[in-house]
Amino acid sequence: MHRFRFVLWRPIQLLPVLFGISVLVFVMVRSIPGDPARILLGVRSTPQAIARIRAQYGLDEPLWLQYFYFLRNLMNGEMGKSIIYRVDTLKLIDSRIQPTIFLVLGSVLLAVLIALPLATGAARYRGRLADHAIRLISTIGLGLPAFWLAIMVILLFSISLGWFPVSGYGSDWAERLHHLFLPCLTVALALSAVLTRNLRASLLMELQNDYVTAARARGLSENRIFWRHVMPNSLIPTINLLAVNIGWLIGGTVVIESVFAIPGLGQLLVKAIISRDYMVVQGVVLVFALATVAVNLIADLLTVALDPRVKL
């Protein structure tokens, strides 16, 4: 009963954050020095276009009114036109979002597949050689620059072994999978370092708990205790960790998409920044922020589903 109320209540609690995000994005673009109309339209804009955008965004009105124009345009799905691509920003984002989504999902999946056995091994053989080795590897993994790791992975798997394409995205599903594997692996290697360290720590903490002693006293095997009792308890903080890291993960994909020339949102953002395509910068930043909020919301709801103790 009250747990379902949480499911309804949580999104409402997010409204101030959403409001803050929109204000921050608005302020960001407006704080660029110069005539906002020229900034949004680029240097080679016609007087008619400037007049149109002045009216649409209320650029002659006071700032707080401008914010409402901005919000109204946003609600209507109006994010302005890209000065480079000459299309609506929303359409542009729509055409670029798919590779990024798959990249993020694939990376999380691979990272969990890597981190789960490593953390399990390290926790169950605590203090032994395997534990030390896994801890050392994950510490090194924390400091691996994604862009460099990507190039090294390309060098090994694409150039030397020829197993995967060097860059690009592909047109059908099999090709896309083939193209996305190395980028996903790169992000996953970095992410799994964080995951392994944290999951190991939380597994070790749970293993100290009294309910483990009680389970042993009931004659359950170490395997059963570990997988049925310790693991579910340890996964709850790990899911939250994943959610906290989603922002970091999106940052990683921005870089990785640039290295592998994947036509996703990250590459779009970097190109837009370099070419001062501010409408696109604003749109992509907004989408990334909304995605982060959404993922955290999902993680909150997942925690409620998994942990019966969570209070409102």
Partner 1 sequence: MTLLQVSNLTIEDRLGTALVDGVTLSVDRGEILGLVGESGSGKTLACRAMMRLLPGDGLAIRGGEIRLNGADVLAYDDKRMMAVRGREIGMIFQNPASHLNPVMTIGKQIAEGRRWHFGASRREARQQAIELLRQVGIPDPARRVDNYPHEFSGGMRQRAMIAVALACEPKLLIADEPTTALDVTVQMQVLHLLRDLRDRLGLAVILITHDLGVVAQTCDRIAVMYAGRLCETGGKRQVLGAPRHPYTRGLIECQPSSDGGVGRMVTIQGQPPLAQRFPAGCRFHPRCGRATTECTSIQPEMRVDPGTDNHAAACHHAVSVTNRGMVHGQ
Partner 2 sequence: MTAIQGFAAFRRRVLPRESTLTAGIVILSAWLLVALFCPWLAPYDPIAQDPSATLLPPNPAHPFGSDNFGRDILSRVMWGARIDLQICLIGVAFPFLLGTVIGAVSGYVGGVVDTLLMRLIDIVLAFPFLVLMLAIIAILGPGLGSFYIAMAMVGWVSYARLVRSQVLTLKHRDFVLAARSLGYSHGRILFFHLLPNALTSSLVFAMSDCVLVLLSGASVSYLGLGVQPPVAEWGVMVAEGQSFITTAWWITTFPGLAIVVLAMGFSFLADGLGDKWGARP
Size of the site for partner 2 (CB under 8 A): 52
Rounded to the nearest whole angstrom, what is the least distance from the CB of residue 220 to partner 2 in the complex?
Answer: 30
The C-alpha atoms of residue 78 and residue 88 are separated, in whole angstroms, by 8
Q: Are 121 and 134 in contact (CB under 8 A)?
A: yes
Which of partner 1, partner 2, none does residue 273 bind (CB under 5 to 8 Å by kind)? partner 2
Length of the chain: 312
In the numeric block, the tokens 């949102």 are attached to: 265
Q: Looking at 78, 88, 131, 307, which residue binds partner 1 (CB under 8 A)?
A: 307
Which of partner 2, partner 1, none does residue 180 bind (CB under 5 to 8 Å by kind)? none
Nearest CB to partner 2, comparing residues 151 and 239: 151
Which of partner 1, partner 2, none does residue 32 bind (CB under 5 to 8 Å by kind)? partner 2
Q: x/- binding map, residues 183-222, to partner 1, per CB under 8 A?
A: --------------------------xxx-xxxxxxxxx-
* Buried b or exposed e, range 101-137, using 16+ CB within 10 angstroms: ebbbebbbebbbebbbebbbbbbbeeeeeebeebeee
Tokens, residue 172: 């059908």
Task: List alpha helices for the chain, DSSP H.
Answer: 2-13, 15-30, 36-41, 47-57, 63-75, 89-124, 129-142, 146-153, 173-207, 210-217, 222-224, 231-244, 246-260, 265-274, 278-306
Residue (of 156, 155, 241) closest to 203 by Cα position:
241
Size of the site for partner 1 (CB under 8 A): 22
Nearest CB to partner 2, comparing residues 41 and 215: 41
Q: Looking at 254, 262, 268, 279, which residue binds partner 2 (CB under 8 A)?
A: 254
Rounded to the nearest whole angstrom, what is the least distance from the CB of residue 112 to partner 2 in the complex?
Answer: 20
Q: Which H or E element spans position 231?
A: helix 231-244
229 binds partner 1 (CB under 8 A): yes
289 binds partner 2 (CB under 8 A): yes
Dihedral sign of CA atoms 284, 285, 286, 290 in order = positive
The residue type at 302: L
Q: x/- binding map, residues 257-276, to partner 2, per CB under 8 A?
A: -xx---------xx-xxx-x
236 binds partner 1 (CB under 8 A): yes
Which of partner 2, partner 1, none does residue 227 bind (CB under 5 to 8 Å by kind)? none
Which of partner 2, partner 1, none does residue 83 bind (CB under 5 to 8 Å by kind)? none
Rounded to the nearest whole angstrom, what is the least distance from the CB of residue 207 to partner 2 in the complex?
Answer: 17
Region binding partner 2 by CB under 8 A among candidate stretches 141-149, 178-186, 225-233, 304-312: 141-149
228 binds partner 1 (CB under 8 A): yes
241 binds partner 2 (CB under 8 A): no
Rounded to the nearest whole angstrom, what is the least distance from the CB of residue 212 to partner 1 in the complex?
Answer: 9
Q: Are 194 and 245 in contact (CB under 8 A)?
A: yes
The C-alpha atoms of residue 81 and residue 92 are separated, in whole angstroms, by 9
Give the distance, in angstroms, between the CA of residue 30 and the centroid of all CA atoms in the same chain: 26
Q: Looking at 5, 38, 77, 139, which residue binds partner 2 (CB under 8 A)?
A: 139
Phi first, then psi, for residue 81 (nearest 5°) are -105, 145
Q: Are 228 and 240 in contact (CB under 8 A)?
A: no
Q: Is 168 left (phi over 0), alpha (psi -120 to 50) or beta?
A: left
User: Which residues sit at the interface with partner 1, rule CB under 8 A?
Assistant: 209-211, 213-221, 224, 228-229, 232-233, 236, 306-309
